[in-house]
Structure 1
Amino acid sequence: MEKSKLEIACFNLESAIIAQKNGADRVELCANMKEGGTTPDFEITKAARDVLSIDLNVMIRPRGGNFVYSDFEFEQMKSEIIAFKKLQVDGFVFGILKEDGSLNKERNAELVALANPLPCTFHRAFDRIKNRFESLETVIECGFKTILTSGLETNVMEGIDILVTLVEKVNDRITIMPGGGLRSSNIGLLKEKTNAVFYHSSAITDSSETANGNEVKALKAIL
């Protein structure tokens, strides 16, 4: 059976270097950990691209809070995708909802098309969405390759049963990537139950915003 892969959410350059050094398969670069991740600084992303040989995905999220964006914020997201593409990043991470909590199909599809040929991950906006299974099909129709989700709960352990259902339901049409409170202490159970092929963790074990190399190693060893 193919080994599962590990993505580390990194909020600074140091974390990205630690992630690569300790065996991560991909970095998701973002800023503002306390906001749940926003678009990273362009220069930091450029520096990360220079030092990383593993895949580098970039969060496109103009601010914290909800996932309903103004016309101005949407234009900003488009211009960021165009700019980051020039740095040869490997993919993008975003998600847009409507005021009523449903998926904004038109805007998501437009960003996916703009990012092409780079793959896109629909992030944890999925956990705030209504009509989860109907929305799952819409995310696939928009052209996303991956969904980052804690199983619609606050963390992966609470959402484990829904994660199992999601993996079964998509049947390899899209990658379901568990993330949210994922640590070396619970990744074994997640892997055993869900059979997911990609896992997402910040690997932060203290009050800092920097990944712990031993935790990255421990996560990877279990996969």
Structure 2
Amino acid sequence: MTLVEICLDDVDGARVAEREGADRIELCADLLEGGITPSHGMVDAVLGATSRVGVQVLIRPRGGDFVYSADELRVMLFDIRTYAQYPRVGFVLSGLTASGRIDVPLLSALLSECGGAPVTYSRAFDEVDEQFAALDTLASLGVARVLTGGGPGAAADGRDRLRALVEHAADRITILAGGSVRSYNVAALVAHTRAPEVHLRAMVPAGGRDRTSADEVRAVLAGVGRR
């Protein structure tokens, strides 16, 4: 069974995702900036509005690159400690060196605060040149899954790399395929890559902003054979 994760930044979107059968959400703020850590109030409200869906909280103190300072590490550690008290919460982490490798000391420090919560490594992974070596590193650190499009851009464009990453990951770590995944292309993407999980923003314009679409969530689930 292919699992479906919906990326969103609001309470009503979380309700929609859970009601329509999504398995997880990635909860962010400021998606126009690529996503940063949501507020304490937002995390609390989303957990209060849902009862089943897994909630992966993005831990990212700012937009821009993924090379973090010591001050930014302290911010991220505090945020993890704050949110780790909640049930159903996991974390989406990142961290690269200036040379474009996984920042192992920083990521290890973040992971040490997560306890047993499930951890996803973000699409910072797609800025790494040696992805197979990076996947080995993340697996060895105990990261549960990696969000990737097989490279920058759409997952459909990186489908051959995604398939190779799925094969390389085996049962050590999960590949979460993301990057312009939509209901009209998800079936072909999963069939080609054999990705066990997919990630998308199921958004449509409504009321002056983008909102999570119940129809799109249902269509994606149908596309992966869940309806």
Q: Write the distance in 2 (CA, Å) between the matches of 1:108 and 1:209.
A: 32
Alignment of 1:109 with 2:108, yes or no, is yes
Question: Partner of 1:212 in structure 2?
Answer: 213
Q: What corresponds to 1:23 in structure 2?
A: 21
Higher relative contact order structure (alpha carbons within 8 Å, sequence separation ≥ 6):
1
Q: Do the aligned residues in 1 keep the contact of 2:9 with 2:28 (CA within 8 Å)?
A: yes
Report the counterpart of residue 167 of structure 1 in structure 2: 166
Q: 3-state DSSP class of the match of 2:7? A: strand
Matches of 1:90 and 1:47 in 2, distance apart?
13
Which ranges of structure 2 fall in alignment gaps of 5 or more residues? Answer: none
Classify the secondary structure of the residue corresponding to 1:177. Answer: strand
What is the CA–CA distance in structure 2 between the aligned matches of 1:132 and 1:5, rounded to whole Å? 23
- Residue 214 of structure 1: how far off its partner (Å): 0.2
Given that 2:204 and 2:210 are in contact with CA atoms closer than 8 Å, whether structure 1 keeps it comes out as no
Instruction: Return the alpha-carbon distance in structure 1 between the equivalents of residues 21 and 126 of structure 2.
Output: 28
Displacement of 1:65 after TM fit?
Answer: 0.4
Is the 8 Å Cα contact of residues 126 and 149 (structure 1) preserved in structure 2?
A: yes
Read off the aligned partner of 1:155 and give its amino acid letter: A
Post-superposition CA distance 1:199-221 (Å, at most 9, x none): 10111133833211100010011
The number of residues matched between the two structures is 221
Deviation at 1:89, TM superposition (A): 3.9
The aligned counterpart of 1:40 is 38
Kindly indicate whether residue 150 of structure 2 is the aligned counterpart of residue 155 of structure 1: no
**Percent identical:** 35
Aligned to 2:70: 71
Question: What RMSD over aligned residues (CA atoms) do the two structures have, in Å?
Answer: 1.2
Contact 1:40 1:58 in 2 (8 A): yes
For 1:211 and 1:162, locate their aligned partners in 2 and report how far apart those are by CA, in whole Å.
29
- Mark the runs of 5 or more structure 1 residues left unpaired by the alignment: none
Q: Give the structure 1 partner of residue 61 of structure 2.
A: 62
* Greater share of strand: 2
TM value normalised by structure 2: 0.94
For 1:51, the equivalent position in structure 2 comes to 49
